[in-house]
Structure 1
């Protein structure tokens, strides 16, 4: 019997217990799944960073920590964690992100706001360009950025992607490094940020990089709050350098009621809803990693501790 500890916020147990048990059975894994297992007996830890479990030292037998979240920045710096850490790459989460990003890209591309918000009933026909005439830039070509870029390509957009290191994505103009970032931003009529939160990406969207974008560009951030220098973005919005921003993630969540983003006419705030882990599909991913661990196969979605993702 394999002991699997569920170490997440107690409210998540009711959501995950049955899908996890079902996924483990389908994977042929005889498992004791519980919220309370003696640390020395635990084989795998299904984990969320807001768990009370912060000291991994007593878990001497554990083979891996399987994160329920796509983001791992709250755990990668934990000095007591010495075993493999896998981040969540969930097909349901990916699909949700693709749908959310595509919706907001199309909103900006088609200029929907001018018709949705039209209190003076102004009749002013406007014909948007075709998708092929619009460049969308994806900052971050991990699993989520790649999936979003593929959907936007199917819709006909010209898609450029940027990453810190070289990547290849079919149909996407892939750029990397500092020079690549400048080239990407220069053509970013609509920019989508899907980068991890690391020391290298903090405040990547700042006064200098915002100024490199075409005047009147749009910014969509479903990635991480610290990617954006908030004061710089508000200033760019005030002067029209950025026409509008849709922000789903923030440094402080929930976003404080007095935060200037709420009141800014050129900002849409969404409450961290772009992509949510789905219990059923996430449970399949976790069960597969446990199966791999028991079979002596490499874990999937392992985190590189040096890179932080």
Structure 2
């Protein structure tokens, strides 16, 4: 019988669908105290020996996160791990990727939510001006104040990182009439962009871009990519959005650039340190909107993720190709981002 490792939270949600699969499963469950159990009996990682595992979203800020990963790594039977995240650049996945004969799969179900988050943020800034919130007096019927909104149609978007998330953003921006350029290591035609260029062309595009969206993984090449030089090349009226990784932005450089008025605004959902420290200047800056790495947390995310997990478990049991498998070499080279 195939043995799968999950957290108690994930099993509670998935069990009704897993119990009716064509082949039965044996569950290794880690509870909230970090204890592994099989059929309620406490077991050691050496005894657990899962064949596969699911890294669910409740693990990312759990105190037993590394105990869970260590239990997977300790299993000589381990063949495959499914992640709930878009990227596999977290250290936990690198440790798994160092094993021989491991297969790792990612999750693109959050692309819809993240793309809608980006559109919300841009619309919010363009239509109202997040840096200039509506004053209470404007809600008074005696203060009939009219505003001139900025249109998305006709703007130019530069999307750095053109995987599932970048393409989902591009599809929606195009629907509003924007001109979209995607950036990825393998350029070429795309149904979702007017052009797709390699990273070497970024600075050719920055000066004309009204919206710059970061969807890249954190790699040696992307750490501090958005530095003073990058920001100085942006349009003064441009908006910067980061839904990729916090390390892509030099925080001090962004603060200085915004203070100088170039770019105009930043929408940030990811940060170098999470949770973002309470004393970080991003919180109170008038030209920054901060959200708590929640761009993917939408009403449809769990359903799409659960569908993927159950489908991939069915495929694994049937020895069929898995969806969203990432080459181990990409993970070890730090290129398995969102």
- TM (norm. structure 2) is 0.80
For residue 328 of structure 2, give the secondary structure of its aligned residue in structure 1. coil
The number of equivalent residue pairs is 301
Given that residues 5 and 46 in structure 1 are in contact (C-alpha distance below 8 angstroms), is that contact kept between their aligned partners in structure 2?
Answer: yes
d(CA) in 2 for partners of 1:268, 1:243? 12
- State how 1:182-221 maps to structure 2 within 5 Å: 182-221=203-242
Q: CA deviation at 1:115?
A: 6.3
Q: 1:213 to 1:247 in 2, by over 3 A?
A: same
Q: 2:185 aligns with which of 154, 164, 183?
A: 164
Residues 99-248 of structure 1: matches in 2 within 5 Å? 99-113=116-130, 116-118=133-135, 125-248=146-269
Shift of 1:81: 3.2
Q: Does 1:291 align with 2:314?
A: yes
Mapped partners of 2:108, 2:293: distance in 1: 17
* Equivalent position of 1:88 in the other structure: 107
Provide the secondary structure at the position in 2 that maps to 1:98: helix
Aligned match of 1:5: 5
Are the aligned partners of 2:103 and 2:328 in contact in 1 as well (CA < 8 Å)? no
SS at match of 1:77: helix
Question: Contact (CA 8 Å) 2:88, 2:106: kept in 1 or not?
Answer: yes
Do residues 30 (structure 1) and 24 (structure 2) align? yes
How far apart are the structure 2 equivalents of 1:222 and 1:178?
Answer: 18
Within the alignment, does 1:263 sit opposite 2:284 as a pair? yes
Distance 1:167 1:76 in 2: 29
Q: Tell me which of 64, 68, 77 is aligned to 1:61.
A: 77
Distance 1:149 1:23, change over 3 A: farther
| Higher RCO (C-alpha under 8 Å, 6+ residues apart) | 1
Counterparts in 2 of 1:141 and 1:30: CA distance versus 1, 3 Å: same
Structure 1 residues not aligned, in runs of 5+: none
CA deviation map 1:60-105 (0-9, x unaligned): 2222011122232223431653311112222xx2222122111011
Check conservation: 1:19, 1:280, Cα contact below 8 A: no
Query: Residue 220 of structure 1: SS of its match in structure 2?
Result: strand
Question: Structure 2 unaligned runs (5+)?
Answer: 30-36, 39-45
Q: Distance in 1 between matches of 2:221 and 2:306?
A: 31
Which residue number in structure 1 is paired with residue 53 of structure 2?
Answer: 45
Counterpart Cα distance in 1 of 2:192 and 2:89: 30
Instruction: Tell me the residue number matched to 2:32.
Output: none
What is the CA–CA distance in structure 1 between the aligned matches of 2:250 and 2:206, rounded to whole Å?
Answer: 16
Q: Any conservation in 2 of the 1:137–1:187 contact (CA below 8 Å)? A: no
Preserved CA contact (<8 Å) 1:210 1:233: yes
Q: Post-superposition shift, 1:44?
A: 0.9
**C-alpha deviation, 1:117, in angstroms:** 3.3
Contact map agreement 1:163 1:175 (CA 8 A) in 2: yes
Aligned to 2:94, the other structure's residue is in SS state coil
1:26 and 1:146 map into 2 onto residues whose CA distance is 35
TM-score (norm 1): 0.87
Secondary structure at the aligned position of 1:5 is classed as strand
Cα distance, 1:216 vs structure 2: 2.3
- Residues 141 and 194 in structure 1, CA contact (< 8 A), matched pair in contact too: yes
**Which residue of 1 is the match for residue 34 of structure 2?**
none
Q: Do the aligned partners of 2:167 and 2:192 also contact (CA within 8 Å) in 1? A: no
